[in-house]
């Protein structure tokens, strides 16, 4: 008898974000693993990650043994209340689309817990298994996102109660970062650790990344990704750029909730050596990477980010360019072990970054072993087998 999986992900191709890249390929790998004995209904949203990146997508697509249905959500700027409103629309849209369908498994990939809760809501009411893919710990992030203690404390307490119910019900939980282990210790018997991976688009780039001219001035430092509270770019880039002036040129590609704050800081300091660029597709992104001397990762100095492992670590690691990372906690441990040729500085300590950039001469790192270990195809193959085995 044919099996049917409901696959929930807020982001999917052609959207630009880690969740989209991860789930677009994983869903296809699960479909391939099911082959002719099962089908997948993927329900996601119309592209919405960045207001400044517009791309067309179909509301409905039918492939070999899977379908993609996209729900249009309101425009948002990634603020907490915007996200809640967007998810409300997604929540009701998913329930409407699955009203007459029966499923053997609900798979939910979730970064802000909303999608995880939706998966639980559906699975528990239908008494079917739930497989969660947890990409972030939402209740921990809320602690740093809401300053009002009278709002924050009861909200976090409520979220933790709901989390316990959801995680207890789930048959399996995948943790995208091993740094989440302590938080999920009560559910350890049901946890897997399938991390992010490296897409083929970036693997081929490693062989094109030529050795930088160590005497080149200015040194080009590129950051690509979300520009929000979690990254805290406004705390390091303006002051570093001001201190080094013509010695460095920052390229910041992306969008997010604190981009205006970063832009204002750059304008206040009248800096000309920082370039803000709207989100671009992967082809153009790779071109920026190849002309860079360094690729920058930075996480704000908050407890919530000590357990995460940014997806950019894998993307940057495949490029063959030196990485400079302002991280702590598990991300620091991972980079030290897997990418030892990287420079790590303490989050928000721009003085340490300045000192490094004034003296270092970048060379092309060797990343072949890293690439082989973390190929997206290898990670997804194992995870797809895990998902399908849940209903076999």
pLDDT tens for 168-177 read 999 999 999 9
* 73 Cβ contact list (under 8 Å, min separation 6): 45, 46, 48, 86, 89, 90
Q: Mean pLDDT over all residues of the chain?
A: 92
CA neighbor of 232 nearest in space, from 83, 353, 75, 334: 353
- Amino acid 248: pLDDT: 97
Write out the two tokens for 332: 């620091």
**CB-based contact 323:316 (threshold 8 Å):** yes
Domain 200-373, CATH number (from 3.30.70.890, 3.20.20.20, 3.40.50.2000, 3.50.50.60) = 3.40.50.2000
**Extents of the domains making up the chain:** 3-197+375-389, 200-373
Of 155-164, 310-319, 346-355, which gets the smallest average pLDDT?
Answer: 155-164
- Amino acid 37: pLDDT: 85
At 213, the pLDDT band (50, 70, 90 cuts) reads very low
Of 17-21, 142-146, 222-226, 388-392, which gets the smallest average pLDDT?
Answer: 142-146
pLDDT tens for 66-119 read 999 999 998 766 566 777 888 999 999 999 999 999 999 999 999 889 999 999
Listed in order, strand segments (DSSP E) in the chain are: 3-9, 38-45, 60-62, 66-71, 105-110, 130-134, 172-175, 191-192, 219-226, 248-255, 274-277, 294-298, 323-326, 343-345
Topology given in CATH for the domain delimited by 3-197+375-389: Rossmann fold (3.40.50)
At 207, the pLDDT band (50, 70, 90 cuts) reads low
| pLDDT average, residue stretch 151-161 | 87
**Surface-to-core class of residue 147, CB atoms within 10 Å of its CB (0-12 exposed, 13-18 middle, 19+ buried):** exposed
Cα atoms found within 13 Å of the Cα of residue 283, Cβ hemisphere only: 0
Q: In sequence order, what are the beta bridge partners of 105?
A: 5
- Amino acid 331: pLDDT: 97
**CB-based contact 86:74 (threshold 8 Å):** yes
**CATH topology match: 3-197+375-389 vs 200-373:** yes
pLDDT tens for 27-64 read 999 999 998 789 999 999 999 877 666 788 999 999 99
């Amino acid at each position: 008898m044919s099996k049917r999986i409901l696959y929930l992900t807020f982001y999917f191709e052609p959207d630009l974000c880690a969740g989209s890249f991860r789930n677009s390929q994983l869903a296809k790998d699960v479909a391939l693993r099911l082959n002719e004995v099962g089908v997948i209904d993927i329900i996601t949203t119309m592209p919405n990650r960045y207001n400044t990146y517009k791309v067309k997508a179909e509301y409905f697509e039918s492939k070999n043994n899977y379908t993609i249905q996209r729900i249009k959500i309101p425009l948002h700027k990634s603020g907490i209340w915007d996200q809640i409103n967007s998810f409300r629309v997604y929540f009701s849209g998913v329930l409407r689309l699955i009203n007459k369908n029966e499923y053997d498994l609900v798979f939910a990939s979730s970064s802000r817990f909303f999608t995880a809760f939706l998966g639980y809501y559906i699975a528990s009411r239908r008494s079917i298994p739930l497989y969660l893919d947890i990409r972030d710990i939402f209740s921990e992030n809320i602690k740093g996102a809401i300053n009002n203690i009278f709002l924050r404390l009861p909200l976090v307490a409520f979220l933790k109660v709901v989390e316990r119910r959801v995680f207890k019900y789930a048959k399996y939980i995948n943790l995208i970062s091993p740094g989440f282990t302590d938080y999920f210790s009560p559910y350890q018997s049901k946890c897997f650790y399938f991390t992010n991976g490296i897409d083929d688009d970036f693997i081929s780039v490693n062989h094109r990344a030529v050795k930088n001219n160590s005497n080149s001035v200015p040194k080009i430092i590129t950051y690509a990704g979300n520009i929000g509270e979690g990254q805290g770019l406004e705390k390091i880039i303006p002051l570093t750029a001001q201190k080094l002036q013509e010695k460095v040129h920052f390229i910041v590609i992306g969008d997010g909730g604190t981009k205006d704050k970063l832009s204002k800081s750059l304008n206040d300091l009248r800096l000309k050596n920082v370039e803000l660029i709207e989100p671009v597709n992967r082809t153009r992104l790779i071109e920026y990477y190849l002309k860079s001397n360094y690729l920058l990762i930075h996480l704000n100095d908050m407890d919530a980010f000590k357990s995460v492992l940014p997806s950019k670590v894998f993307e940057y690691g495949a490029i063959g360019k030196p990485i400079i990372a302002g991280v702590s906690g598990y991300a620091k441990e991972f980079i030290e072990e897997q990418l030892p040729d990287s420079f790590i500085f303490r989050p928000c300590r721009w003085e340490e970054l300045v000192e490094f950039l004034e003296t270092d001469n970048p060379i092309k790192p060797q990343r072949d072993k890293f690439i082989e270990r973390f190929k997206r195809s290898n990670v997804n193959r194992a995870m797809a087998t895990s998902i399908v085995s849940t209903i076999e």
